[in-house]
Each structure stands twice: as structure tokens, then as C-alpha cells.
Structure 1
């Protein structure tokens, strides 16, 4: 019999952020909220190579709704993010698609999948 450990739980870099966590980008300075993640960068090489900074791909990457951006989202490497300690909510038009509320500095996800 093949054990589960042969297929699962073999990530090298632990994930630091969860959906609903408010984060701060260390390089670009923006705040945002995590709405999704990948265990490693899933973006195409053309996109990755066009970026000014190219953090390692073999770490968690996060889909982040960017605060006061007019509705932009971004894909950011874990090494470029840190927890946002301001305790303030994020201003983004799609917040309600993903979250039902904001409490203690984090967003509370809907029980079901996002509503677009």
C-alpha cells in the first residue's frame, strides 16, 4: 500500500497566509487581502520574466486584492509579503464577492465559493 505521505504534505516552504489575511507588500508598499494561493508560482514564464522583481517561484504565491487600487488584484510571492498590522479594512470593489465581514484585522470568507 502507498501511504498518503508519498503524495501529500511534501511542500518545502510552509504557507504563511490564509484567505482573508490582510497583508503588506514589502517592496511596493501596498496593502491587500489574500483571496487565493498556489503552493508555487503558476504564472506563465512570459508574465514572470516581465516583472521587475523575480522572487523564487518555488514558494507560495498569493492572489491579493489591492487596497485603493480601483479594483486591481495582483499575484505576489510569499517572500514579498508580511502581515499588515494596521487593523484597518481594505477598500476594494470585490471584497463582498469573497468575504462576509471584517473582524480583528482579518476578513471572514463566505462559506461557499466566491460570488462574482
Structure 2
């Protein structure tokens, strides 16, 4: 059974990724992973996030561009 964690951040908050150089504003939250298996498997196994945690939809930007990101907590 999957235990659902409460999201640490809220819709409308601006967040900065702690590893990669981008920031974004949260526009949606999934309580657990809700993307394709293909997307999840494309992440290198040694840094692949667990599915049983909140995932955030961000309007993100870095030094080069703006984009939509899907990131784990």
C-alpha cells in the first residue's frame, strides 16, 4: 500500500531546484507520481525518484529558456 505524503510546497510558490540551475512557480501538485512509465524510466536509476512522494508541475526557467517541468519533492 502506498502511503501518501503531504506536499511540502503549495500552488503559487516559487521554488528553486536544489541540484539543477532552474526555478519555477508551482501550478499543480500530484500527491504521488502521475506521469508515464517511459518518462520515469528515462531518469538514470541512481537518481530516479521514488513514486510515492509529491510531484510538482512547474512553469520553470533557467538562464536559457522557459519550460514546463515535472519534479519530485
> TM-score normalized by structure 2?
0.81
Matched, 1:17 2:18: no
**Matched position secondary structure for 2:24:** strand
SS of the equivalent of 1:47 reads helix
1:54 to 48, 56, 67: 48
What is the CA-CA distance between 1:59 and the residue it aligns to?
Answer: 0.4
More strand by share: 2
Q: Which runs of 5+ in 2 are unaligned?
A: none
Q: CA RMSD in A?
A: 1.5
Relative to the length of structure 1, the TM-score reads 0.53
Task: Tell me the SS of whatever aligns to 1:48.
Answer: helix
CA contact (8 A) 2:60 2:66 kept: yes
How many pairs align? Answer: 68
1: CA distance, partners of 2:20 / 2:65? 17
Please tell me whether Structure 1 or Structure 2 has the larger radius of gyration of its CA atoms. 1
Structure 1 spans left out of the alignment, 5+ residues: 1-10, 79-116
Question: Following superposition, which runs of at least 4 residues in structure 1 exceed 4 angstroms of deviation?
Answer: none
Q: Which has the higher contact order (CA 8 A, sep 6+)?
A: 2
